[in-house]
Structure 1
Amino acid sequence: MNYRRFLPNLCTAMNLVFGMCSILSTAEGRLDRGAIFILLALVADGLDGRTARFFGVSSEFGKEMDSLCDLGSFGIAPALLAWTFALHSYGYAGAAAAIFFAVCGMWRLARFNVNAAVVHGYFMGLAIPAGGNLIAMTVWLLLSLGVDPHTFGIAVPIVVAVVGYLMVSCIHYPDFKGGGEKIYLGAKTAALVVFAGMIYLGHAAALPAAFAALFATYAIFGIVNHAIAAVMPKKEG
């Protein structure tokens, strides 16, 4: 067995294993576990690429595996989690939001694969692992705080749909690898305010609050940074 190829593929497979564990936990009514398994899928997703680069065995096969696993773990599993947690109470609107989120995840992955050779230095649209975990960590936070999501009314399916849209949008999200999108002070300030606010409001459930704040901050940071870049005067060549 070629362990150099086996280990990255094992990490990729564990991504889907955790995604399936999330789906099964959600089906059993263990929504907190369902959310945590989506976070663990993110850890596995982060390890597969790093392991492949470390061993120098990146392949098209591995890339296809990664996309398929991501759709299950960060597209379908969070949609089902959100549906079971709250969206089922909104009838057709809730069903549409859950389906829209999953379809946007599929679209995001397909576009990423097609544009991988031409898009550098930033992510076009919110990455599906971030989008899926934003939904999952928010569910975990509300569960931990004992907050009834129905108090937010129609905002619940709207927020799920908006997160789905962010994944297929043309908003440039910095990849923080350097040499990509310029990061503006205004975006940093907005991100800090959002993060601090969520930590303060969710302090009774510190761990889920921290994770939810992390993903919410990144989602909002990209929007603000992209908006500032759009209105800033362009340097003439």
Structure 2
Amino acid sequence: MKDIESDTHKQGSLDSRSKGIYLLPNLFTTSGLFAGFYAIVAAMRGDFDHAAVAIFIAMVMDGLDGRVARLTNTQSSFGAEYDSLADIVSFGVAPSLVAYSWGLSSLGKIGWLAAFFYMAATALRLARFNIQDHSDKRYFSGLPSPSAAGLIAGMIWVAHEYAVPGHKICIIAAIITILTGALMVSNIRYYSFKEINLKDKVPFMAVLLALIILVFISIDPPQVLLGAFAIYVLSGPALALKRKWVHWKDKRKAK
């Protein structure tokens, strides 16, 4: 009888643990959603630096939820859909409203249209991602929405650090907002970094590089993050031009 009770208790513990692990990635997703919502609230209060930081926190949570789900083997259709909806808020609604409150509002109708275009592009980007064939996991088709949000948040954070009001650079902000939105719905390929497997051993140089990046970020987070995301955003068009150039040279050689 005791053995049966013991087995039942163990089974119950395993079931509880399984449910707990299953909830874990969704807790990260909820944390990211909360950060995106807080960014909107902070922007309404005029705390644009806090809003920018909240968007970056949402990015960290978004990067963790999927990896946690894979590491714990708890992927689910619910988690994928929930993550996509949270991304629309954190990387679509939040950056567009923060940018509008910060500086785009100075442009009147053009400003809110630029903000709406960015938000709509994010929704389209995420919808396309959900139905695409992901056979080649090395690349994304179009700029990922977290990276676009990182560029917007980095721009606002750096401007705040240097006491540059949004209305003084509202035209530049509008151009960046529209261009990042266009890149999200483009077919330009971006490196995904998904082939990095945390379960496997990684080279020592990779660990060292990660530490160096963290040190640089800690020195001046706003500038380093803005620079890093600007490089990544530009890497897509740059590689696309390089491929076209190589293709053009090969065609000339073939003649």
TM over 0.5: same fold?
A: yes
Aligned pair partner of 2:233 in 212, 219, 229: 219
The DSSP-based 3-state class of the residue aligned with 2:108 is helix
Unpaired runs of 5+ residues, structure 1, are 180-198, 200-204
CA offsets 1:73-114 (integer angstroms, 9 cap, x no match): 010100011001100000111011000000000000000001
| Alpha-carbon shift at residue 4 of structure 1 (Å) | 1.6
Larger Rg: 2
Matches within 5 A, 1:178-193: none
Change beyond 3 A, Cα 1:171–1:213: same
Instruction: Provide the alpha-carbon RMSD of the alignment.
Output: 2.0
Give me the whole-angstrom Cα distance separating, in 2, the residues matched to 1:96 and 1:45. Answer: 27
Q: Aligned residue pairs: how many?
A: 212
Distance 1:178 1:14, change over 3 A: closer
Report the more deviating stretch, 141-150 or 94-103.
141-150
Q: CA deviation at 1:173?
A: 0.4
Q: TM-score, normalised by structure 2?
A: 0.78
CA distance in 2, matches of 1:207, 1:54: 29
SS of residue paired to 2:220: helix
**Other-structure match for 1:175:** 192
Which of 129, 133, 138 pairs up with 1:121? 138
Cα distance in 1 between the residues matched to 2:159 and 2:93:
20
The one of 69, 72, 75 aligned to 1:58 = 75
Shift of 1:178: 5.1
Amino acid at match of 1:84: S
Contact 2:137–2:195 (CA<8 Å) still a contact in 1? no
Equivalent residues in 2 for 1:197-236, closer than 5 Å = 206-233=220-247
Equivalent-residue separation in structure 1 for 2:120 and 2:84 (angstroms):
14
Task: Give runs of ≥4 in structure 1 deviating > 6 Å.
Answer: none
Unaligned runs of 5+ in 2: 1-15, 197-215
Change (3 A) 1:98 1:22: same
Post-superposition Cα deviations, 1:163-219, rounded to whole Å, max 9, x if no partner, equal 11111111000113459xxxxxxxxxxxxxxxxxxx9xxxxx922001111111100
Whole-Å Cα distance in 1 between the matches of residues 235 and 134 of structure 2? 25
